[in-house]
Amino acid sequence: MIKGLGAKLVMRDAARSAVAVGGIAVAVLIAFVEMGFMNGVVDSHLRMVEAARGDLVLLDARRSHLNKWDEILAIRLPQVRAVEGVVAVSPVYQAGKTFRAGPDQPDHRIVVVAFPPDNPPLDLGWSADTMALLRTPGTVLMDRLSRSIYGKLEAGQDVWLEGHLMRLGGFVSLGPTIVIDGTIAMSETTFRSLEPDGGPEMAVVRLAPGADPAQVKARVTAISGDSVQVFSKRELFDRESDYLMRVAPLGLLFGAGMAAGLFVGLVICYQVLYVAIRRRLAAYATLKAMGFPNGFVLRTVLEQAWAVGLAGYGVGLALAALAYHVLAAKTGLAIELNAARCASIAAACLAACTVAGALAALKAMRTPPADLF
């Protein structure tokens, strides 16, 4: 049995193999970029959920997703605080405001998040200094990951929110989303100066040690009725992901792009292998006449497909890592590579190359040796 024949044929026909590797690399890059945008939009949207410092999250029943800001009735928070097993209930206020970095600068829309400063319900990369600044009325903290449209900002400078003069005390970290360019964090007291009658859009609930989240959730639901939705962080993750992937629908948009990229790779791989087989029909005929079965022919072609597929995937992955770095920096979205995502594209790439190789091999497998001669 001839071992490694497929790999040897790939090396022997280096120019055509390089074309196949390049084509598959482009297809892999397209698939990675489409996946990156899809996951980046979802992961960026979920930053607020991930930042919640608690066990349960309360939302108004009308709030079908986190970009829809329906207020919770203020009376619900003390009611929930009185539930057995609950240690603290912290409100989170959200509002869209105009932001100006200087008296002569243009206005830009920004999202304000506010909460009680003594025990913030969101983890925004707090330090002792930023926590102290948050307690100072009229002092706000800028999300350092906000997009560059707000200009170059420095701690200590004056900024304007809805025409109100504020002091930019420092910076926190959250990150933009597909619809939010930037975020300003402030205390509940400072927020009241902008919106005296505004209610919370979310509340984060911390439970006592040993309390059963499911039981506490049931008690909160019984007290609040249909006016409030109660989620664990995992449940809210799943709901928001499902909304974006199915209702938005990101899955269809970017999934189609990923499929198109992999289809391009399949066509390129098939075309290169088919041409290579036609050029070597006499050689395959000789092998079949010597008694080598169709399985050997198929295995040889698949070895070629896998060799160019793996090489193309490696080049595509390297290009994707560079593209992800640039896209994350330019968009501010959470566009990240991880092992699971790399493995899924690798599996899809090899599957496409396997299909291409099997289709290309049919030409040699179906033709009798005598005809090939």
Please tell me whether residues 145 and 192 are part of one structural domain: yes
**Pairing verdict, β 158-161 and 139-143:** unpaired
Indicate whether 295 pLDDT > 90: no
Task: Cis check for the bond before 249: say yes or no (omega within 30 of 0).
Answer: yes
Between residues 255 and 251, the one the model is more confident about: 255
87 vs 41: CA distance, rounded Å: 33
> What are the DSSP calls for 186-210, one per residue?
EEHHHHHHH-TT---SEEEEEEPTT
Indicate whether 72 pLDDT > 70: yes
200 vs 135: CA distance, rounded Å: 18
Please tell me whether residues 178 and 259 are part of one structural domain: no
Calculate mean pLDDT across residues 193-197: 89
- Identify the band that residue 370 occupies on the pLDDT scale cut at 50, 70 and 90: low
Please tell me whether residues 68 and 194 are part of one structural domain: yes
In a domain, 139, yes or no: yes
Indicate whether 296 pLDDT > 90: no
- Identify the band that residue 48 occupies on the pLDDT scale cut at 50, 70 and 90: very high
For 323-349, what is each residue's pLDDT tens digit? 999 999 888 889 999 999 999 999 998
Of the three residues 232, 263, 280, the one that is the final residue of a domain is: 232
Report the pLDDT value the prediction gives residue 47, as an integer from 0 to 100: 93
6 vs 309: CA distance, rounded Å: 13
**CB contact set of 194 (below 8 Å; sequence gap of 6+):** 95, 97, 112, 161, 162, 164
Please tell me whether residues 269 and 145 are part of one structural domain: no
Indicate whether 63 pLDDT > 70: yes
The tally of domains found in the chain comes to 2
322 vs 334: CA distance, rounded Å: 15
Q: Containing domain of residue 158, as a range?
A: 51-232
47 vs 67: CA distance, rounded Å: 12
Calculate mean pLDDT across residues 49-64: 93
- Identify the band that residue 1 occupies on the pLDDT scale cut at 50, 70 and 90: very low
Of the three residues 232, 265, 289, the one that is the final residue of a domain is: 232
Please tell me whether residues 218 and 72 are part of one structural domain: yes
Report the pLDDT value the prediction gives residue 282, as an integer from 0 to 100: 66
> CA angle, corner 179, sides to 335 and 329, nearest 5?
35
Calculate mean pLDDT across residues 62-78: 89
Helix%, strand%, coil% for the chain, nearest 5: 55, 15, 25
Give the count of beta carbons closer than 10 Å to the beta carbon of residue 138.
Answer: 14
8 vs 12: CA distance, rounded Å: 6
Q: Which residue has the tokens 């962080």?
A: 233
In a domain, 237, yes or no: no
Please tell me whether residues 190 and 288 are part of one structural domain: no
In a domain, 238, yes or no: no
Calculate mean pLDDT across residues 30-56: 92
In a domain, 337, yes or no: yes
Report the pLDDT value the prediction gives residue 358, as an integer from 0 to 100: 85
In a domain, 275, yes or no: yes
Report the pLDDT value the prediction gives residue 246, as an integer from 0 to 100: 78
| Range scoring the smallest mean pLDDT among 138-142, 234-238, 251-255, 318-322 | 251-255
Mean pLDDT, the chain, rounded, equals 87
| Residue 92 φ then ψ, to 5° | -125, 120
Q: Which residue has the tokens 């290169």?
A: 272
